Structure 1
Amino acid sequence: MLSFLPAPLIGLLAASLLALNALFWVPILLLVALLKLTLPFKALRSRLDPVLIRIAEAWISFNSGWMRLTQKTHWDVDGFEGLDPRGWYLVNANHQSWVDILVLQHLLTHRIPLLKFFLKQQLLWVPVMGLAWWALDFPFMRRHSEEALRKHPELRSKDQEATRKACQKFALIPTSVVNFSEGTRFTRVKHQLQQSPYRHLLKPKAGGIALALNVMGEKFRAILDVTIVYPDGTPSFWAFLCGRMHCVRVRVQTLPIPRHLVSGDYATDPVVREAFQQWMQQIWRNKDAQIGTLLGSGRS
C-alpha cells in the first residue's frame, strides 16, 4: 500500500501504471486480432475469441493490482453470490463517472464473462484504447440528438440495426453486455434540465435494453441491476487516481429476464414500448430509493 504518499504523487504513479499496463497488453491484443482477421474460416476465427478475452481479463487484473497498491478504498459490496463466469448477463447500472467502469471491471471480472460496453463512435479514435476496444469487438454506436432523429427518422433504424448486429456477435460466446440506462453521466445540471422525477438518477432510456433483450433474451441468464454509490461524493478520474476515493458502495440485484417482453417489438409496438418503460421505471424507483439508503448509511 502506497497510500501514505502525497496525493499528487500517488496520482502520477497510478496514471503511469495505468498507461504502462495498456501499452503492454494492447499490442498483444492487436496481434491476435489481426491474426483472427487473416484466418479464412469462421470456425478458425472463433477459436481466437477466448484468447482475446483472456488477454483482456489479464489486463483488467493488472489494473486491479495497481489499484490495490495505490488506493486505500473501502469496498462495501453485496449481491455477488451465485454468479456464473460461463453465463450471459445483461448488466444495468447507474452512471456518474468514468470511475464507474473501473469499479465494474474490478468487481465483476472473473465473476461473470468479460464486460462489453456500447461506445460512442468518436471513441474509436482514442489513442491506444480505441484499437483495443475494436480488437475486443466492442460496438461503436453513432448517437444522434433528438433533433437529428426528428429530421431524419431513418437514423433511428440504423442505430437499432447496429445494436442488433453487435448483440448477435455477443451471442456467440459468453458475454456480459453493459447498459447505462441514463445514457450519460449523472450531474445536477442534467438532472435539473431533465426535471427528473428521481432524486439521484436521470431518466432511464429503455430502448437499448429492450433491443438487447429482443436479440439475446434467450441467451441471458439474468439481468444484474448494479447500483454504485460514492458516499464522499462522485470522484473525478484524477481524484480517483490520487487515492481520494475513500469508499464505494456497490449493490447487485439479480433480476429475472422479463420473458413476456423479450419477443415484443419496442420500436414499432406502442403497447410493448409502454410495458418496457413501466418495467424500467419501477427498477429505477427501486434503485433511487436504494441510493438514498446507501448515502444515508454513514461514511466509511
Structure 2
Amino acid sequence: MLKNIIPKWLNGLTVGVVLFSNTLLWGCIVLALGLIKLVLPMAWVSNLLHSAYQGWCSGNRLGLKLSNAEITTVINGDVNKLGWYLLISNHFSWLDIVVLSAIDVLPAPKFFLKDELKYVPLIGSGAWAMGMPFMKRVSKAQLAKNPELKGLDVARTKHSCRNFRSHPTTIINFVEGTRFTKAKHHAQQSPFTHLLKPKAGGVAFALEVLGDQFDAILNTTLLYQAQSNHICGSFLRGRLDKVTVNISLVPVSSELLGNYQQDSQFRARFQESINQLWLSKDSELATAYAEQAFDAVIINNKEIEQP
C-alpha cells in the first residue's frame, strides 16, 4: 500500500491534513445545523445534525486507515449499533477522541468534555451543537465565594444525558478527568501505577439518568506503542506504531444505580466499584506493557530509543 512506501513524515503530514480538513468541514456543518436547530427544533434538523456528526466519525476512520499505525480493537461481548452504552476509559492523548470516535461498531459517540474546550474553535462549537456536557471543576475556595456553583456539573450532565435518549448513543467519559502524565500522577499521589485517580461523579450521574436505557457499560482500555512519549507528535510524524483498544461489557446492575449526590452510602459504594474497575485496568496495562515492552513511553514520560 501507498502508506508503506512513502516516508513516515509525509504519511504523518498527509494524515494530519486529512483529519484537520475532516474536522473543519464537518465542524462547520454541525455548527450551522446546531444554529438552525435553535430556530427550528424539529426532528428532521436533529437527524441531519446527527448524520453530519457521523460524517465526522467516518472521516476519522479514513484518517486512521491512512496512517502508519496499526489500530486493533478487541470487544469482549456483543454490541448493538442501535443501542445505548456508557463507555469509561483511561486518557492518554487528544488522539483518544479520534480513536474512540472511529470505532464503527458502536453507536454515535458523545463525549464528556472539560469546560475549557468550549472555547476551542469547531471542537467546542460542535460539542455544543450536539448537546455534549462541559464539565467545570470547582474548587472549595470557589464554592465558598459562589455557593450557586455547587451542583452545576450535575445539572449539565443530567440535562445532556436526557437529550441523548432520542438517538442511539455511546456516552464517553474519560474518568480520570484529564490526560495522564507522570507529573500529574506524582502530584495526585495516585495509588495506581499507570492511571490517575478516577472521578466517579460523571459516571454516576449518567447512570442515574439513563441507567434503564443503557445496554451495558463499556469498560475500555487504551494502549499506545509510540516512538516517544508525545503520542500526538509521534502520530503526526508517522511514528506511532500501534494503538490497541480493549473493550469489556459490564452489566448495568441495580447496585450501580442511585442518588450519588445525596446518598452518602451509595456514593461510597459506587466510588469503591469504580476503584475496583481501575485496579483491574491498572493490572491490564501492567501486563500489556510487560508483554509488549513499550511501558517506558508512558510510565517514565521521556523519550526512549526503540530497538
> Do both share a fold (TM > 0.5)?
yes
> Are residues 83 and 238 of structure 1, via their aligned partners in 2, closer, same or farther at CA, if it must alter by over 3 Å?
same
Following TM superposition, by how much is the alpha carbon of 1:31 offset from its aligned partner in structure 2, in angstroms?
3.4
Contact 1:14 1:242 (8 Å CA) reproduced: no
Partner residue in 2 for 1:8: 9
Partner residue in 2 for 1:241: 236
Which secondary structure state, in structure 2, belongs to the residue aligned with residue 246 of structure 1? strand
Unaligned segments of structure 2, at least 5 residues: 295-307
Following TM superposition, by how much is the alpha carbon of 1:106 offset from its aligned partner in structure 2, in angstroms?
1.8
Match for 1:166: what amino acid? S
Match for 1:247: what amino acid? K
Partner residue in 2 for 1:286: 280
TM-score, structure 1 normalization: 0.89
Partner residue in 2 for 1:295: 289
Contact 2:31 2:122 (8 Å CA) reproduced: no
Which secondary structure state, in structure 2, belongs to the residue aligned with residue 193 of structure 1? helix
Match for 1:77: what amino acid? T
Query: Is 2:44 the partner of 1:47?
Result: yes
Match for 2:57: what amino acid? I
Please give the per-residue CA displacement for 1:224-282, whole angstroms capped at 9, x wherever unaligned.
000011134654323212221101222100001131331x2211221011100111111
Partner residue in 2 for 1:78: 74
Q: State the alpha-carbon separation in 2 of the partners of residues 134 and 231 from structure 1.
A: 33
Match for 2:51: what amino acid? R
Match for 2:249: what amino acid? T
**Residue among 169, 180, 186 paired with 2:174:** 180
Q: Which moved more, 1:91-100 or 1:119-128?
A: 119-128
Match for 1:58: what amino acid? G
Partner residue in 2 for 1:27: 28
CA RMSD of aligned residues (A): 2.1
Write the mapping of 1:254-265 to structure 2, written as runs, cut at 5 A.
Answer: 254-262=249-257, 264-265=258-259
Partner residue in 1 for 2:164: 170
Contact 1:89 1:223 (8 Å CA) reproduced: yes
Q: State the alpha-carbon separation in 1 of the partners of residues 10 and 153 from structure 2.
A: 43
Which secondary structure state, in structure 2, belongs to the residue aligned with residue 89 of structure 1? strand
Write the mapping of 1:63-74 to structure 2, written as runs, cut at 5 A.
Answer: 63-69=60-66, 71-74=67-70
**Residue among 50, 57, 60 paired with 2:57:** 60
> Are residues 241 and 81 of structure 1, via their aligned partners in 2, closer, same or farther at CA, if it must alter by over 3 Å?
farther
Partner residue in 2 for 1:216: 210
Following TM superposition, by how much is the alpha carbon of 1:298 offset from its aligned partner in structure 2, in angstroms?
2.3
Percent of pairs with identical residues: 38
Q: State the alpha-carbon separation in 1 of the partners of residues 200 and 122 from structure 2.
A: 32
Following TM superposition, by how much is the alpha carbon of 1:297 offset from its aligned partner in structure 2, in angstroms?
1.9
Following TM superposition, by how much is the alpha carbon of 1:30 offset from its aligned partner in structure 2, in angstroms?
3.1
TM-score, structure 2 normalization: 0.87
Match for 2:178: what amino acid? T
Contact 1:36 1:48 (8 Å CA) reproduced: yes
Count of residues in Structure 1 that have an aligned counterpart in Structure 2: 292
Please give the per-residue CA displacement for 1:33-58, whole angstroms capped at 9, x wherever unaligned.
3332222xx5xx13332322221112
Contact 1:231 1:299 (8 Å CA) reproduced: no
> Are residues 92 and 171 of structure 1, via their aligned partners in 2, closer, same or farther at CA, if it must alter by over 3 Å?
same
Unaligned segments of structure 1, at least 5 residues: none
Q: State the alpha-carbon separation in 1 of the partners of residues 48 and 239 from structure 2.
A: 35
Contact 2:201 2:260 (8 Å CA) reproduced: yes
Which secondary structure state, in structure 2, belongs to the residue aligned with residue 291 of structure 1? helix
Please give the per-residue CA displacement for 1:103-137, whole angstroms capped at 9, x wherever unaligned.
11122x3x121111122233222223322222222
